[in-house]
Amino acid sequence: MRRLNRFMLPSDARGSYNPLYRLYETVPVRRVAWSVCVNLAARVIPHMGFKNWVYRRLLRMRIGRGTAIALYAMMDTIHPEWITIGDNCIVGYHTTILTHEYLIDEYRFGPVVIEDEVMIGANVTILAGVTIGRRAVIGAGSVVTRDIPAGAFAAGSPARVIRSGQEDCSRQP
């Protein structure tokens, strides 16, 4: 179950402008501008240690030891400090991690927690309020819309658990 804070537009505001158009009524423009600039720079830093330092110090994300975030990964620009990535994780090329959702009549915010030793394939999108359990594997191109249990292999759009953590994944068929 995703942990989201939901905010509905007042009934008198519906039909005029959607919540994304009104973004700067909820988040300061300077904060978003700063986050966008840092994110754009961090996306192309090839050195994992320096990239993690940038995310930790400049965007206040929590990133564990030995975590590798590949080139062009995009972290949320509104609340990057709500992203937690555990120790020894791999975040694949061109992955997007979001802590917000803007819809027509509402907007939602929620933290993203990626526990230790998780592998996330390339081009994955992780939506707000999701927790990915320890040692889970997310297949390339997946859209993670709900929590993934520890040790599971999940893939697809939306991501579904294909194999749970109880099975021995080391054996070849």
Bond prior to 158 in cis (omega within 30° of 0): yes
Contact 86, 112 (CB under 8 A): no
- By the 10 Å C-beta count (0-12 exposed, 13-18 middle, 19+ buried), 107 is classed as buried
Report the alpha-carbon distance of residue 25 to residue 99 in Å, rounded: 17
Pairing of strands 106-109, 125-126: unpaired
Residues known to be catalytic = 100
Place of tokens 């009524």: 25
